[in-house]
Structure 1
C-alpha cells in the first residue's frame, strides 16, 4: 500500500499564502480599529489629521502592492462608512450633493495610494533598502492628499458647498484652495507617516526576516 507523501514545495507555498492572508487580515483589522477609535484621527478645531496612512504604508511595504491596495480600500471603506453614518459632517454634506462622487473620492484615491506605495518600495529597494522604507512611507500620505484633493476638486469644486469654503479661505482657484484647505494638515500627515511607517515597517521586516 502506497502512502501519500507531501510535496515540500506545495507545503511551503501553502504556508506562505496562509501567512500572507493572516498578516493582511491583521493590517485591515488595525485600520478598522484605528478608524473608529481616537487612534485614527487627531481632531482639532481647525484640522482633522488622519494616521490611517500609516498601516496602509506598512501593509504596502511588508506585503506588496496588492496588499497595499487592499489596505487602502479598507481605509476608503471606513471613510465611506463615516459619511453614511454621519461620522464626518464634511463627507455627509458631500454625500447629499453627489453620492457617486463621494464614494469615488473615498475609495479610489486610497486604493491607488496603497498600490503605488508598494510599487515605489519595490522600485527604490533595488537601489537602497533603507531608502525604500522612507520613500514608500512618505509617498503614501502625499499620494493620499494628491489623489483625494484631485477627486474632491473634480467632483465638488464648483458646488455651492465647496465654493463657500473656498470663499471663506480666500481661494481664487482650485490650486490655491487645495493648498489652503490641506496644506498644513497634509504636511503633518506626511511627517507622521514617514516617521512611524518607516520605523514600524523596518521593525516588522526584521521580525519577518524579509
Structure 2
C-alpha cells in the first residue's frame, strides 16, 4: 500500500512535468511509475498505477492535475457526455493496458537469466512503447474526424501524422523510461521490494 501511494504521488508530480511538443502533444514520463509498479507488484500493481495514470490524464483534459493541451482542445470543441466517454476510453483504458502489458513483459523476461537492470530496462521501454501505441491508436480511431485532429493532420495520411507527431516524443520517452526503470528496479531490489 505504501509503495502504491508513493507511486500515485509521483504520478501527480509528473502530471505537471512535461515537455510541450508541436501538435498539442508533450513528452511525459508518467509511464515510469507504471513500469515500476509492474515490476514490484506484478499485474495488480500495473493495473492500479496504470489506472491512476489514466485517471490523471483524463482529468487533465478538464484542467485538473495540470493541463493537457490536446485534451482541453478536444473537450472544448465537444463538451458532451458521449465525447467525454470517448476521452475516458482513450486516456484511461489505454493506460490500464500499459500496466497490464508492462507486468506481462516483466514476468516474461524474469523467466530468463537476464540481470535485474536489463529486466527493468525492458519493462520501462515496453511501458513507454505501449503507451505511445495505445494512446495514438485510440486518438486516431476515436477523434480523427474532429476539426482539431483534421487541422493537426493538415491533409497528411494517418501514418505521416503519427510519424511527425510522435517521432521525437516516443524515442525520448522510451529511452528515459528504460534507463530510469532499470535503475529503479535495482533500487527496489536493494530495498527488498522485488
For the aligned pair, the TM-score class normalised by the smaller chain equals 0.7 to 0.9
Distance 2:193 2:8 in 1: 21
Tell me the equivalent position of 1:29: 9
Distance 2:70 2:193 in 1: 43
Distance 1:56 1:159 in 2: 30
Tell me which of 133, 141, 144 is aligned to 2:128: 141
Larger Rg: 1
Pairwise CA RMSD of aligned residues? 1.8
Q: In the alignment, does 2:178 pair up with 1:200?
A: no
Q: Unpaired runs of 5+ in structure 1? A: 1-20
Q: In the alignment, does 2:141 pair up with 1:163?
A: no
TM-score normalised by L of structure 2: 0.87
Q: Number of aligned residue pairs: give it.
A: 184
Runs of 4+ in 1 over 6 A off after TM superposition: none
1:1-210 correspondence to structure 2 within 5 Å: 21-36=1-16, 40-43=17-20, 48-85=26-63, 87-95=67-75, 96-97=77-78, 98-130=83-115, 131-167=118-154, 171=156, 173-208=157-192, 210=194
Ranked by relative contact order (alpha carbons within 8 Å, sequence separation 6 or more), the top structure is 2
TM-score normalised by L of structure 1: 0.81
Offset at residue 128 of structure 1 (A): 2.9
Deviates more, 1:46-55 or 1:187-196: 46-55
Q: Unpaired runs of 5+ in structure 2? A: none
